[in-house]
Amino acid sequence: MTRARYADPQPAIPERLRKRLEAKHAELGLDLDRPLPDTPEPIPALEAAQARIPVDYRAALPEHPDVAAWVSAIAGNSVAPNAEGVNPHYGTAGRREITHGPSLLLWGSTGAGKTHQAFGAIRALTAAGCGVHWHATTAADLYADLRPRAGVDPEHMLRRIMRIPLLLLDDLGAAKPSEWTEEITFRLINWRCQNRLPTIFTSNMPPVRTDRMPARQAVLRDKVGDRVLSRLSGMCTAVEFTGPDRRFQRR
């Protein structure tokens, strides 16, 4: 019996095709033997957040220990999608969503880094893999946006902001108070307090007056009233920021 002889196995890519590919790579300046750069895996939530964060705060980090602890608490309370639904075993493989948790009141002198830390907290939560539906505004901008005008439903807008999972309300107490602004502030904070929705407040004013303060020192209590301050006290960890104005130091 004669055993058949087979030719040597041919390469997967013919030699002429390999040479054509090498020539094309050289033409395009591609070096396939160069090691790939060690770049971190992109975080889509953080990249999306970056587009909405003001330029000054796009590199912000939660450096204050109390702010970092708050980020850890909120991330720890996040739950898998549909975990609290009728069928909790459905859809649990997606990103964890922020649900409920404590809030922060960052107060102190102008330019001490309160807003910087607030946006740093938002960036840290998105980088931690949490699904973060957030909204950031100043108190003055909030009132301006909610003033009645053609084509806008202020009530719908307020209810949407009240229910957003994470809210940053900057410069609380800075806007000129009125009965209307007091009502808006109370409704917003009361809803978020009752439903334990994480909120970051910043203010240039201390929450209450102390014996060591000058008589003319403005305090948050005078601006928002006892009802709002009571709810802030119940829902927030108050963090004082001190130091010189960072904006002057950058010049």
pLDDT at 30: 63
Examine residue 7 and state whether it is found in any structural domain, yes or no: no
The reply to whether 29 falls in a domain is no
Q: Would 195 be classed as within a structural domain? A: yes
Q: Model confidence at 92, in pLDDT bands (50, 70, 90)?
A: very low
Quick check: 11 pLDDT over 60?
no
This prediction's pTM: 0.76
End-to-end CA distance of the chain: 94
- Host domain of residue 82: 44-249
Distances (CA, A) of 209 to 205, 216, 222: 10, 10, 9
Please tell me the distance from the alpha carbon of residue 74 to that of residue 68, in angstroms, as a whole number: 10
Confidence bin at 210 (pLDDT 50/70/90) = confident
Which stretches within the chain are classed as H helix?
Answer: 15-28, 44-52, 65-77, 114-127, 139-146, 154-163, 179-194, 220-235, 246-249
| Averaged pLDDT, 220-235 | 93
Report pLDDT digits (tens) over 21-68. Answer: 677 767 766 665 666 455 455 566 667 778 889 999 989 999 999 999
245 located within any domain: yes
Report the domain count for the chain: 1
* Residue 16, in any domain of the structure: no
Check residue 91 and give its pLDDT: 45
Specify if 39 maps to a domain. Answer: no
Residues facing residue 106 across a β-bridge: 202, 239
Determine, yes or no, domain membership for 25: no
Q: What whole-number distance in Å separates Cα of residue 213 and Cα of residue 195?
A: 34
Section 171-200 average pLDDT: 94
How far is residue 195 from each of residues 41, 128, 148, 162, 166, measured CA to CA in Å?
35, 24, 27, 10, 12
**CATH code, domain carrying 147:** 3.40.50.300
Nearest-10 crossing angle of helices 44-52, 114-127: 150
Tell me what the pLDDT averaged over the chain comes to: 82
pLDDT of 234 strictly over 70: yes
- Does 197 reside within a domain? yes
